[in-house]
Amino acid sequence: MIRKLQKKFIFITMISLLIITSALIIAINVTNLVRIDGRAEDLMDMITLRREPEDVFRPDSDRGEGKPQPPRPEGEGAHDAPWFSGKHGDFKSISITPETEFTTRWFSVSFSDGALLSVSVEKIASVTSEQAVAYAKEVLSSGDLSGYEDGYKYRLVSENNTETVYFLNCETELQNGFFMLIATVLIGITCLVFLFLLITVLSRRAVKPVLENMERQKRFITDAGHELKTPLSIISANADVLSLTGENNEWVESIRKQTDRMGHLVQDLLTLAKGEESDEVVFQAFHLSDAVIDTAMPFAVPAESRGKKVELDIQPDLELWGDEGAIRHLISILMENALKYADEGGTISLSLRREGKHIVLLQKNPCTPLPTREQMDRLFDRFYRVDPSRSRESGGYGIGLSIAKIIVESHKGKISAYAEDNQLCFSVIF
C-alpha cells in the first residue's frame, strides 16, 4: 500500500510537470517560428515591392544611372534612417537593421504568358539559373501564392500578364529554429529526469503524514477487533450455557445470531486491515478451476431453499499463481452477495474461462432494481450499501465487495461491476 501510494504521488506529479514543460517548449518554439516567418515576410515585402529587383539591398553608390530609386524618408533625421524605413518600414520583425541588406540572399524568375522571361540570381551564390527556373516551375505547378520550398520562402506576384516568383533564402534561420527545438526538448527531458529523481527521493517524506494516519487507523481496527473477540466469545459461551440449562428460547437464539453477525463483522474488519499488506501474502500455483467449483457448489443448496438456482460454467484445468485461500474467499463473497440480492426465482451464474492471456471470472444474477451508474461506481467502497434497509434485512454491512477488490488487486487483477440484460454482473480479470 505504501509503495502504491508513493507511485501514485510520483505519477501525478510527473504528469503535471510533463504538461507544464511541454506547454513551455511548444510556446517557445511556436513563438520562435512566428518570429522567423514574420521576419521572412518583412524581407519578402521589401523585395517584391521594388519594381526592379536588382535595386533591392543595393547601396546608392552601386546603383546604375537612370534606375528607379526606392522611396526615401524626408524631414529631420532622414539621412540617418535606413533606406527601407520609409512607407515600407512598418515591419513586424524587429531584427531587420541597416546590416540586413548585406546578409539577405534571394533570387527571382519571371514568366510572360507561360514563357520564361528573365532569371535573376545575382543576389545568391548557391543557386544556378537552371535550378532557379526549376524551383519557379515547381511553385507555378503547385498553384500556391506563397510558402516554403527547400529552405526558401517564395512568393508569386502577377502583374500585366507577367508572373514573377521571388525566393528568399531562409536556411540559416530555419536551421536555428530547428536547433532551438532540439535544444529545448533536450533541456526539458533533462530537467524532467532530474525532477523525477528528486521527487522519488522526497516522495516518501511527502506522503509520510498520510501513511502515518493510515497506519494508526489500521492499528486501531486491528486492536479493536482483537479486543472485541474476547467479549463476543464470552457472550456466545453464555448463550450456549443458557441453552443447556433449559433456557433456550427466542432471546437466546437472538443473542446467538447477533453474536455470530458481530463475529463476522470483526473478522471482515481484520481482513480489511490486513488485506492491503500484499507483501505478506505468499503466492504459489494452484488449480483455480477446482477451487472455484469447490467453493461455489455449497451455495446451491441454500440458493434452492430460497427459490433460486446456481449454474456453474467452469473451464477445467485452469491454474493461477496466487493465494488460494484469498481466491476462495473472493468466490464466497461474490456468491454470498448474489445469494442475498438475487431476485427470487432467478439464476445465479458463475463462469470461468481463459481469454487470450487473461483468466476471466464472471458472476451474474438478476437484481431488481439495478443500481444506477453512480451507485455502480461505489459498490466497492467500504460500508457502502445501495439499499441500507434491504442490506440490514439480509445481514450485510457493505464490506464484502471492498474485501473482494483488495483480494483482486493484490493478485494484479481488475474487478468491475456493470448491468447487462437486467442482470447485475461482476467481472474479475486475472
What does the pLDDT read at residue 361? Answer: 93
Helix residue spans in 276-399 (DSSP H): 288-296, 300-305, 324-341, 373-377, 388-394
- Size of the chain in residues: 430
Assigned C-alpha cell, 47: 523585395
Q: Cis peptide leading into 369, omega within 30 of 0?
A: yes
In the chain the domains, ranked by start, together with CATH numbers, are 281-429 (3.30.565.10)
What is the amino acid identity at position 50?
A: R
Q: In sequence order, what are the residues at sequence separation of 6 or more whose Cβ sits closer than 8 angstroms to the Cβ of residue 187?
A: none
Assigned C-alpha cell, 308: 433460486
DSSP category for residue 67: P
What does the pLDDT read at residue 26? Answer: 95
What does the pLDDT read at residue 70? Answer: 43
Q: Which residues pair with 66 in a beta bridge?
A: none
Q: In sequence order, what are the residues at sequence separation of 6 or more whose Cβ sits closer than 8 angstroms to the Cβ of residue 391?
A: 385, 397, 398
What does the pLDDT read at residue 395? Answer: 54
Report the SS3 class of residue 286.
strand
**In tens digits, what is the pLDDT along the chain, a chain of 430 residues?**
667 777 888 889 899 999 999 999 999 999 999 999 988 988 888 888 753 434 444 444 344 444 444 444 444 433 333 334 333 344 455 566 777 777 889 999 999 888 899 999 988 988 999 999 999 999 999 889 999 988 999 999 988 889 999 999 999 999 999 999 999 999 999 999 999 999 888 877 777 777 777 677 777 767 777 777 778 788 878 777 777 776 667 777 777 777 877 777 777 677 666 665 544 567 888 999 999 999 888 888 888 888 888 899 999 989 999 888 889 888 988 898 888 888 888 889 999 999 989 999 999 988 888 887 777 877 887 766 666 555 555 555 667 788 888 888 888 899 998 888 888 899 999 9
What does the pLDDT read at residue 301? Answer: 87
| Gyration radius of the chain's alpha carbons | 40
